[in-house]
Amino acid sequence: MSTPATTSTPAGTGATPLTDRFAGADRPAAPAARGARLMATLLLVLGSLFVLGGAGTWAVTAAGLSSEGVTVADSAPAFVGAALDTPWEAWAQTEAIRSDVLAATDGRTYAELDREDPLRDMATTGTFLRASLLTSVVAFGVATALVGIGVGFLLGGLGLRSVAGARAAG
């Protein structure tokens, strides 16, 4: 039995008032578009958190280094006299420490010094200072990576939201 033609049901289409309700422009968004918008929102939230986390990590690391009041040594290859609060300055200071320790130990590393050598304690301290500064360099790198990933997530979320909006409208 065929449904009689009405203003909302074209004749001969086999549509019913129930199925016709979902065929118009007022139909709800397709599940795929809804899922895409949800994923876009998730990417935007995660991207924002990553950018904020990376910026916070950078700021905390820089503040921690700065609070020590260290300036880059004269024997550093770059940034001589600068306050130590960036990864570049920390790297330059590690190179200064390395060269100063090697100069004081006649080119011998901690492992090459005799256990009774009085320079061994100085070499140990230099090694620990370098390791500590290099850890801050790694922290700056992690902060930069977080910001980069966050920006990627933000761009991906904006692009996905744009595509999902265009599909829902079309």
138 within some domain: yes
Summary mean pLDDT of the chain: 86
Output the six-digit token pair for 123: 């070499």
pLDDT one-digit tens code per residue, 59-101: 999 999 999 999 999 999 999 999 999 999 999 999 999 999 9
5 within some domain: no
Structural domain of 116 = 31-169
50 within some domain: yes
CA distances, 92 to each of 82, 95, 102 (Å): 10, 5, 15
Closest by alpha carbon to 164, among 10, 35, 55, 20? 35
Dihedrals phi, psi of 92, to nearest 5 degrees: -60, -40
Q: Is 69 exposed, middle or buried (0-12, 13-18, 19+ CB in 10 A)?
A: exposed
26 within some domain: no
In percent, the amount of the chain with pLDDT more than 70 equals 79
Residue 11 predicted with pLDDT over 70: no
Q: Look at residue 27 in the predicted model and tell me its pLDDT.
A: 53
115 within some domain: yes
10 within some domain: no
